[in-house]
Structure formats: C-alpha cells, structure tokens
Amino acid sequence: MDAREPTWNPQPRIPALALPPLACDAHVHVFGPLARFPFDAASAIRPGDAPKEALFALHRRLGIGRCVIVQSLVHGFDNRAVQDAIAAGGGRYLGVALVPADVPDTELARLAAAGFRGVRFNFMTAEAVARDADAVLALTPRLARLQMHLQLQIEGPLLRSLARLVEESAVPVVIDHMGRVDASQGPGHADFSALRAHLRGGPDRVLVKLSGIDRISRRADYADGIELAALLAAEFPAQCVWGTDWPHPNHSHIPDDGALVDALARIAPSAALREQILVRNPQALYRFQPD
C-alpha cells in the first residue's frame, strides 16, 4: 500500500455473530494522529492515521467491550499514542508496550501504572534471535515483579529457535498471530507442531493469539487459517485469546473486521468456548478491573 493510505475499512459489515458481553479484542494498534504522535524514524511503514476514535467506533460496531492495544514499530519505543488511548478508554482498554531489552525499571513501572500489561518483542529474522533472545530472557524477571507478560511476534520457521526463551521466561509468554505459520502447509507442518509444543507448557507459561487468520492464509475465505485457529482453540482453550489486528498495517489487503468476527463461529463453535477465549482468558491475562 502507498505511504499514508488508510489500512482499515471504515464501514466493515455488522457481524452476524453476537459476541458475549465484555468480549475482548486482544490485538489492535493505533497510529497517530501524526500531528501529535510522529512516526519512529526507523519505521519503514507509513500508514494513514488510525486514531483511538476510529478504534472505539469500530468496537461499538462489532460489539466488542474490551481491548488490548499493542504498540507497533510504526511509533517505535514512543508509547504515547497507546497510552493516550488507554487513558480515554474508561478502563476497558489496556496496552502492550514496545521497549528496548535494557529499559530502565522506572520506565517499566511507569508503563505498568499507565495500564500496560506486557511488553512486545519482534523476532522476524534469525539475526534478531541471535542478537536479542538472551537479553529479552534476562529482562523477564524484571517483568515478573510488575506482573507484566512477554509478547513475541515470531516468524513461523523461528518458533523452534526461540525454545529456550519461551521455556525459561520468568513470565507468561504470549505468541502473536499463531506464530505466523504458513496455513497452506496444514496442521501437520513442523512450524505448527512447534507452536503446539510450546503451548503444551501450560496456561501459566504460554498463550497464543488467534489473530491473523488473514495473514497466515492466502485464501480469500481464510479457510486454512480458520482451520488452524480452530485446532488451537479446541486443544488449548485456556491458552487462547483473539484479536482483529486492526488497522491491518503492512498487509496484502484490507480485511473486513466484521468477517473476522464472524469467523469466530467456526474457530470457537460453542458459546461456552467463545466466552472462555473472549472474556475469561483475557480477564485472567490482562487483569481488567471489574466493569
């Protein structure tokens, strides 16, 4: 997409699926407005504004009552846009920050007090794993003192390379977008098997976001991505949360967020399973205050 073009659909379809009260969209971003929150100079992505007001309107349309906003590389380590949205969210919006591995304890404590429940690191290349994995692992005892978790964006083939970080982390590890596996390879592929192996560590150790069916699939109906998400939901129901990934930066197309909600009817076919993934699991992980 061209620089500064919107990456989100302002009029997604209204879902046919009614979500449970306090359903949580556990993976979104906010961008800008650029006049207040400039892009990080190192970011190669220059999307159009996706401000908090648009996010709040989307959630009203979709029937979503809670949300976790994840800091993006678009704004780098400047977490102010997310913090601003959290402050305006009336207790229903929390965050995950982007920080360097050597972030000072004072900054971590400030973020935790502002409503950030975890920190995110990107491991999209083998070089990033070799350079940063040990430093991120060393950070996790400091996260534990603040009840913050570790969130990882991982390119599928690197899931095995990060086994030590995942297994030895002092805090729960949340894996983004189903590990960005290639859904066309099916559930028997080594990358998906590695993701499942991590999840067998248990709900106190590893969780997964059932987001990104539109990223891991090349099909227009996302059927193979939905299949993998449904397998994870059935096998690890206490370890799954879900998100739209709005506003869909750095993507091949603009998904319809209403269609992503409706896909939950196939990912989590029963009302009880949807309640667990959309309400109970996010409540336990993110510690929303009572409504």
User: What are the residue numbers of the active site?
Assistant: 245
Nearest to 283 by CA among 150, 141, 147, 92: 92
- In whole angstroms, what is the distance from residue 123 CA to residue 128 CA? 6
- In whole angstroms, what is the distance from residue 260 CA to residue 14 CA? 11
- The dihedral sign for the CA sequence 104, 105, 111, 114: negative
Residue count (the chain): 291
- In whole angstroms, what is the distance from residue 111 CA to residue 249 CA? 24
Structure token digits, residue 136: 């991120």
Contact by Cβ (8 Å): 152, 124: no
Residue identified by tokens 């290639």 is 182
- In whole angstroms, what is the distance from residue 185 CA to residue 190 CA? 9
- CA angle 103/106/110 to nearest 5° reads 100
Contact by Cβ (8 Å): 160, 195: no
φ and ψ at 88, to 5 degrees?
-90, -5
End-to-end Cα separation, the chain, in angstroms: 39
**DSSP strand pairing (66-70 vs 24-28):** parallel
